[in-house]
Amino acid sequence: MKPQDVLGKASLWIFGYGSLVWKPDFKYRKSRVGFIRGYKRRFWHGDDFHRGSQAAPGRVVTLIEDDDAVTWGVAFEVSGPQVEEALAYLNVRETVCGGYVTKMVDFFPGDEGPAPVQALVYIATSDNPLYLGPASPEDIGAQIASSSGKSGHNLEYLLRLAEFMRSSCPQAEGVLQVIVNL
């Protein structure tokens, strides 16, 4: 699916599970903390712009398919002209600079009230040249600790994500898995 496939919609939910949870950088109508099923978050994607360089890419999260997994994050509802503006911005941030593809997923708000809604999510796949794949936790940790890019140090990315999980998703099992399972 391409972002332009959803242009013209009156509203759209966009699910964030990495830096979007603390820095969406686009206007939105409302946001909700919740989760998607069938994916696990891993530090398996390389970043040679925001959190690293071409010589020393950082590691940022992507989603890996796993039928038994749940990934917590934030969904942002954009409406009216916000849809096109958000997609134009995210196309550069996530697709051009990051190499992510888009999919539609069911987003479950964490407050157990409303039914799930369809949300657009950006995922880095293994056929992406920036995709790094699995490595030992020690190697991933060392790479994160030594990488920095235009948006800041890679360690800041990891710590902000861990803080989001602790403060906004206390109901999520294994909050520290963000760090431990890198």
Active-site option among 94, 138, 156, 163: 94
- Residues near 74 by beta carbon (within 8 Å), at least 6 away in sequence: 15, 16, 20, 21, 24, 31, 32, 33, 34, 168
Verify whether residue 94 is a known catalytic residue: yes
Beta-bridge partners for 63: 41
| Cα 137 to Cα 88: distance, rounded to the nearest angstrom | 35
Q: Which two tokens mark 89? A: 């911005």
Hey, which residues are catalytic here? 94
